[in-house]
Chains A and B, each alone.
Chain A
Amino acid sequence: MSMEDYDYLFKIVLIGNAGVGKTCLVRRFTQGLFPPGQGATIGVDFMIKTVEIKGEKVKLQIWDTAGQERFRSITQSYYRSANALILTYDITCEDSFRCLPEWLREIEQYANNQVVTILVGNKIDLAEKREVLRQRAEDFAEAQSMLYLETSAKESDNVEKLFLDLACELIREAKQNKLDNNDTAPMPGEGKTISYLSCCSLN
């Protein structure tokens, strides 16, 4: 294995309908690019970016999945090991918003129950074509107890914030988990109850 020059490693998986701008979000964040005329993603793409948060090096493994239906079975296999899911829709496309409940069902079915999910409305640079009102999306996110953020990969609005906020949240949860596990860990040698890390259990 390579040198582990980081304090945390998180897997982030982007999901959502085809053409909502998942790849552009990832490219903007990892490479600072906005490639126009981006073709549809085939299967799954994989990028790494290491960021520093409060002096701690955080390595983000970002899995950019294809939105098209025929790749669903490939993308589903990544849910289980994901620490965070970025559920993306396009604010100029009502359809992509209406598909969200379907995506949530997938998350429910395949992801581990500790996963952090964030809802992202992309393409706010196309404000004049907006079809999904911010309030509506916020209400929806709140009802599903998800975080919500609106971004523009083109204008680089909130993209950095999206990933950094997510990293902060993941660090917070990781620290919380560590504490919890220490509390319930059995005494070595004598323990009869072997506690499971909750992330290992099937949901």
Chain B
Amino acid sequence: MADTGAVAARRCDSCSSSSVSMETISGLTELEDLEKIYQQLCAEEKEVEAELDRLVGQEGTIHTKMLALQRMGPNLQLIGGDASQLSGMITFTCSLAENVSSKVRQLDLAKTRLYNVIQRTDDILDLKFCSDGVQTALRNEDYEQAAAHIHRYLSLDQSVIELSRQGEESSAVDASLVMLQEAEQKLKVIVAEKLDEAVAAVDLAQVERFFKIFPLLGLHQQGLARFGQYLCSQLASKAEENLLLATGGELGEKRALMIFADTLTLLLEGIARVIETHQPIVETYYGPGHLYTLITHLQQECDRQAQKIVDKFIQQRGYHNKFQIVQSSMMKSLPGERIEPRELDPVLAEVTLMNARAELYLRFLRRRMTADFEVGDAQSITQEHQQNVEKLLKHCLLSTTMQELIGYYIPMEEYYMRESVNKAVAMDSYEKGQLTSSMVDDCFYIVKKCISRALSSSSIDCLCAMINHANSVLESDFREVLYNKLRQGFPATTLQDIQRGVSSAVSLMQSSLQQGKFNTLGIESTENAKAAFLNDCCKLFSQGGGSGDQAKIESCLSDLVNTSTKFKDLLQEGLTELNTTAIKPQVKPWISSFLVISHNIEEEEFNDYEANDPWVQQVIINLEQLMAEFKMALSPVIYDHLTSRMTTLISSEMEKTVLKCSFSRLGGLQFDKELRSLVAYLTTVTTWTIRDKFARLTQMATILNLERVTEILDYWGPNSGPLTWRLTPAEVRQVLALRIDFRSEDIKRLRL
């Protein structure tokens, strides 16, 4: 129905929406317009007709749909009835279910209560059983059993017990409770007494027996304290024995030097062993996390015994006395009581060994305690636990005592190093055939030894401090020594005097040699040493040291590398000096003798030169002699540096000299030949490429060899090909002007 209404409305719509209104039509006067409008209206009419046809065609389908709908009506009514019936059913079921579940809840409640009742009766029964059991167990001296009963009683819910007392059977329960409490007190006293007895009797089996009972009575701390006390007394007697043995002195020569370190090692190893053997008992009967408490007790004894050993060590070795002597002789250079560095050797080694042992022991403790906490609960290793452990380890007397010892050790080691280096410098000797004097090797050996010893103490701070000192000794003292030697090597007045020149060259060599050694040992080896040391340190401290410690060492070592750079600079300075004082005065006249040889020559002289070389062979022979001397005495690296400097010198001197000469065509050819032999010779003696250094001279020779002035243009500018000119146009003109047969107008006219 609605459909037809909509169609009507549409029709009405299309009616009014006709594009042409009546008014417009009546307003039209022109025939043409009328015809147009008529056409338009006709078209519209056709459209409307088509639309109507379409709508009429739809009528059939609409009708069938209507019929189907009408048939559906009664079905729908049926569905409505069913649905309301279903809803009623559901409501009913729901209420039923609620009903049932409330009953179930009640049942559940009843059940839990029942359980509670059973539990409580169990507990009460237990209580009775316990109180009976304790009595018999105590009578039979079966303390384990008694303790087990007490433990059972203690683990009962206290509130349950309270409740039971309010019940009807209160008197009976009360009685057993009182009895149990009494028994508990009694047992505690007995166990404590028995343990004390066992401790006094040094009966390990009994000690362990009663030690195991304590946690059952809830007396963890007391048990650990008493057990700790027992272990301490054991340790103390053993340690005293060892110390007596140590001071008795019936030992071999070798051990005697290290006896205190050995005694300390025995003590610490003993404690470690005790911890190792008793950790399982503590863990089993006391639960994890209690090792810390036991170790706290043991550490007290350890501190006491270690202090005794260290006191004896200080007393017998005169440690403080030695330190004071060292300190006073370092403070002022006055000749007072001095101490031979060598005398310090054993005591320094002993101290580092003691510290290393202590560090090892403390690392062991840390590992054990953390592991024990972790077993308890890996997540619950709280900040507090960590802090406790750190505090115990860092501030125990053993640590502070060791820190004090190291505090004295460092200045002594520094003194040892400084004095030994000074001695090595003083005893410096130079053996023939040896490239370096003894001093360099000796000094580095000493420095290395001191650092290694500091490293062997396992104390990172100690190691860093010694690296710092080593650095200061090398950078200031030792560098000063080398510098002074270097300066003595170049007396400024010897330049003309050949005789003295030679001798100065010898002393020069000697000092540069030392630096030669530095070049290989000092510079490369500091880098190597740094890597090697760092490697060692990593290995050593990987258990205990964090990344911070490694950064510390690395920073200190990099200072050492800086020092090696300073030595490198010193070497360069030395080479410069050597070059200017020993080589330049000799080489210069050889080169300038070139001036005497005329290069303004004709065919005949050229041939004569060919037969009897006027200059270059002599120069080469001279150079060979000069360099042979150096080659023998200098290390290869230094020799290479020196020859490089020499070739630079020769090329610049040659250049200056050539510009003072004049050349004929054949003279140019002669010069070219001479230059070639010189370069060929120098190439054989150096490992550096020297072609580059002689590039300008070679180009000058090329210019002097030209046929005509304009021939230069074949090589210049766009024609230069692979050749890169090192001479400026002005210089090219200058060289061209050296040829007497080139006219200056031609040269001027050149466009370069």
Contact = CB atoms under 8 A, between A and B. Distances in A.
Interface of A: 1, 39-40, 42-46, 48, 61, 69-74, 76-78, 80-81, 188-192, 194, 200-202
Given A73-B465, A74-B465, A42 B407 contact: no
A200 B476 contact: yes
A174 to B, nearest CB: 15
Nearest to A186: B573
A70 B403 contact: yes
Interface stretch (B4-12, B227-235, B504-512, B551-559): B551-559
Given A1-B558, A39-B391, A194 B483 contact: yes
Nearest to B553: A46
Nearest to B472: A80
A191 to B, nearest CB: 8
Interface in B437-496: 459-462, 464-466, 468-469, 471-472, 475-477, 479-480, 483, 487, 492
The list of the 7 closest CB pairs from A to B, nearest first, reads A43-B461, A77-B468, A77-B465, A73-B410, A46-B552, A70-B407, A70-B404
Contacts of A39: 390-391, 394-395
Interface string B565-596: 01000000100100010000000000000000
A172 to B, nearest CB: 22
A44 B559 contact: no
Contact of A200 (B404, B459, B479): B479
7 contacts: A43-B460, A46-B548, A46-B555, A74-B407, A74-B465, A81-B559, A194-B573
Contacts of A44: 461, 464, 552
B461 A42 contact: yes
B322 to A, nearest CB: 14
A146 to B, nearest CB: 24
A45 B404 contact: no
Given A74-B465, A77-B469, 9 more contacts: A39-B391, A46-B548, A48-B551, A73-B407, A74-B406, A77-B468, A81-B468, A190-B580, A200-B566
**Chain B's interface: helix, strand, loop or mixed, by majority?**
helix
B400 interface: yes
B287 interface: no
A188 B492 CA distance: 17
User: Residue among B390, B414, B559, B576 with the most chain A CB within 10 A?
Assistant: B576
Contacts of A48: 551
B548 A45 contact: yes
A70 B555 CA distance: 23
Contacts of B573: 194
A10 to B, nearest CB: 12
A49 B566 CA distance: 27
Contacts of A191: 576
B468 A71 contact: no
B214 interface: no
Contacts of A45: 548
Contacts of B555: 46, 61
B451 to A, nearest CB: 12
B544 interface: no
A194 B555 CA distance: 29
A45 B409 CA distance: 20
Contacts of B551: 46, 48
B639 interface: no
Nearest to A43: B461
A111 to B, nearest CB: 11
Contacts of A1: 558
